[in-house]
Amino acid sequence: MKILHTADVHLDSPLTGVAQGNVRRRELLKAFLEMAKYCDNNGIGAVIVAGDLFDDKFTMPITVETVAQIINNSAAQWYLLQGNHGNAEPYRMLEKRCSNVHLFGRQWTAYQLDGVCIVGRELGDNDAEYWRTFSPPANCYTVLTLHGDVANADYGLIDKKAIAASGVNYVALGHRHAFEVFKWGRTVACYSGVPEIRGFDETSSGFVVLDTDTDTYKFIPRYIRRVENVKVDLSSAQNQLDVERLVLDGVAGVNVDNYINLQLEGNVEEWLNVRQIAQERLDGKFFALRIDDNTGIRLDLQKIAKEVSLRGEFVKLAEEIQDEKIKEEVLKMGFAALKGVL
């Protein structure tokens, strides 16, 4: 049997950091619909949503109704964890509306489908005791479903040793928003990542397809929009026009409908506010734009330190900083502040 494993869909996210938040919320729902279509077109027998299908505790009723229609039209069986976002009510509504929806609670719950056991439960804060009651089914290909973290965490700590000792075949994880794979004993555990990104911190999207007959898995990349990282070296810039030209050359050819992460690099003249120049020149050209100013200052610090001036005194103090990265940032911020003084 083929199982599609996804998580962290976060429908109805506020998306306050995106100018076109309403557009993006509709696209998250569209990505969910496309994922359901993929299931029907590729013989998927079960879908595991390992938490956070919904984002906010005030999920819109129309969103829940749309999700119910999508799931009702799906031939697959759907197994849902709530996770640590939203509230239980939308999930209860889906269970009531859809005969193919199966939920997990705060106790271990096991479902069987075509010789596969799908086991899971909701985790909580500092919930370390739950593993004492975990007993995997015998003589069954077992998929464990959890929403939590594999590192030290106050919420949903995943006990890797207990999982390795249990011998379950696959762990469908949610909570981390990137595709990750772990091997604990003979058990494979995966974070599926997100089906569609919501911000610059989510650099890839898709889902995992598990084939229980061959005991293999595959990450399927899918996206409506994605993050594009663009690096621009401004070392040769002498003035504002040079900065504009280099920035425009750097973003030439990128998809304007994507999330563009522009990284400015190189040493530039102290009086050039390259972030502001780039922001004003590119304003409104992309669906979403983030500018990281990693440039340094093109200065003769030894010469400036000899000046009998506020600037000279500042450089002498900054030179005492041992950490070069911190020193560079202090110099950059200091010279930016001194522009209004000198």
Could you state, in order of their start, the residue ranges of all structural domains in the chain?
2-221, 227-338
pLDDT at 237: 96
Rounded Cα gap, residues 1 and 13, in angstroms: 32
pLDDT above 70 (res 221): yes
86 and 52 Cβ atoms separated by less than 8 Å: yes
pLDDT above 80 (res 129): no
Q: Band the pLDDT of 340: cuts 50, 70, 90.
A: low
To 5 degrees, how large is the angle CA 260–CA 31–CA 39?
140
pLDDT above 80 (res 130): no
pLDDT at 339: 64
What confidence tens digit (pLDDT) does each residue in 229-239 have? 999 999 999 99
Side chain identity at 93, as an amino acid letter? M
Domain 2-221 class, CATH top level: alpha beta
Q: Which range is least confidently modeled, 94-108, 306-320, 326-340?
A: 326-340
Q: Band the pLDDT of 126: cuts 50, 70, 90.
A: low
SS3 helix, strand, coil % of the chain, rounded to 5? Answer: 30, 30, 40
What confidence tens digit (pLDDT) does each residue in 96-123 have? 999 999 999 988 999 999 999 999 999 8
| DSSP assignments along 4-36, one per residue | EEE----BT---TTSTTHHHHHHHHHHHHHHHH
